[in-house]
Chain A
Amino acid sequence: MEILMSILAGTLFAAGVYLILQKQLLKIVLGTALLSHGAHLFILTMGKLNRGKPPILLEGVKNYTDPLPQALILTSIVISFGVTSFLLVLAYRTYQSNKTDMMDQLRGTDDE
Chain B
Amino acid sequence: MSNLVFLPIFIPLFFGALLVFFNKKQKVTVNISFLVVLLSLGVSIFLSYHVFSYGPLILETGDWKAPYGIILVADKLSVIMILAVNVITLTAAIFALSSVTEKMVQHYFYPLFFLLIAGVSGAFLTGDLFNLFVFFEVLLMASYGLIIIGGSKHQFRESVKYILLNLFSSILFVTTVAFLYSVTGTVNMAQLGERVGQVEQQGILTGIGILLFIVFATKGALFPLYFWLPKSYIVPSPIVSGLFGALLTKVGVYSMLRVFTLIFSHKLELTHTFFIWIAAITMIIGVIGALSTSNVKLIIAYNIMPAIGFMLLGIGTFSAESLAGTIYYLVHDMAIKSALFFLAGLLVWHAGTSNLKKMGGYIKTAPFMGWMFFIASLILAGIPPFSGFIGKYLLLRGAMDEEHYIAAGIGLLSSLLILFSVIRIFIGAFWGELKEEPKQAVKTSGLAASAVLIAISILLGVGAEWFYPYVQAAADSLIDPQIYIDYVLKE
Contacts and interface: CB of A to CB of B under 8 A. Distances in A.
Given A43-B175, A83-B170, A111-B355, 14 more contacts: A32-B164, A35-B168, A39-B171, A43-B177, A46-B181, A72-B178, A72-B181, A79-B137, A79-B170, A83-B137, A90-B144, A98-B153, A107-B157, A111-B295
B364 interface: no
Given A69-B181, A94-B160, A98-B153, A42 B141 contact: no
A45 to B, nearest CB: 8
A112 interface: yes
24 contacts: A20-B164, A28-B164, A32-B164, A32-B168, A32-B171, A35-B171, A39-B171, A47-B178, A47-B182, A72-B178, A72-B187, A79-B137, A79-B170, A80-B171, A83-B167, A86-B144, A86-B163, A91-B160, A93-B151, A93-B156, A94-B160, A112-B154, A112-B353, A112-B354
A91 B163 CA distance: 11
Nearest to A100: B157
B134 interface: yes
Contacts of B153: 97-98
A108 B157 contact: yes
B378 to A, nearest CB: 27
Contacts of B175: 39, 42-43
A42 B177 CA distance: 10
A46 B179 CA distance: 7
B302 interface: no
B130 interface: yes
A52 interface: no
A65 B404 CA distance: 49
A103 B161 CA distance: 9
Contacts of A82: 141
Contact of B156 (A42, A86, A97): A97
Given A39-B175, A83-B167, A87-B167, A68 B187 contact: yes
Interface of A: 20, 25, 28, 32, 35-36, 39, 42-43, 46-48, 68-69, 72, 75-76, 79-80, 82-83, 86-87, 90-91, 93-94, 97-98, 103, 106-108, 110-112
Interface residues of B, number: 35
A97 B171 CA distance: 28
B472 interface: no
Contacts of B130: 72, 75
A28 B168 CA distance: 11
Given A28-B164, A32-B168, A43-B174, A111 B179 contact: no
B303 interface: no
B157 A98 contact: yes
Given A32-B167, A90-B163, A111 B354 contact: yes
Nearest to A110: B154
Nearest to A37: B171
Contacts of B152: 97, 112
A97 B144 contact: no
Contacts of B156: 90, 93-94, 97-98
A20 B168 contact: yes
B148 interface: yes
A31 to B, nearest CB: 9
Interface in B268-311: 295
Contacts of B353: 111-112
Contacts of B348: 112
A94 B154 CA distance: 9
Contact of A90 (B148, B168, B187, B295): B148
B44 interface: no
B421 interface: no
B159 interface: yes
A70 to B, nearest CB: 12
A39 B179 CA distance: 11
B236 to A, nearest CB: 11
A86 B353 CA distance: 32
Contacts of A112: 152, 154, 348, 353-354
Given A90-B148, A97-B151, A46 B182 contact: yes
A39 B164 CA distance: 16
A65 B159 CA distance: 41
Contacts of B144: 83, 86, 90
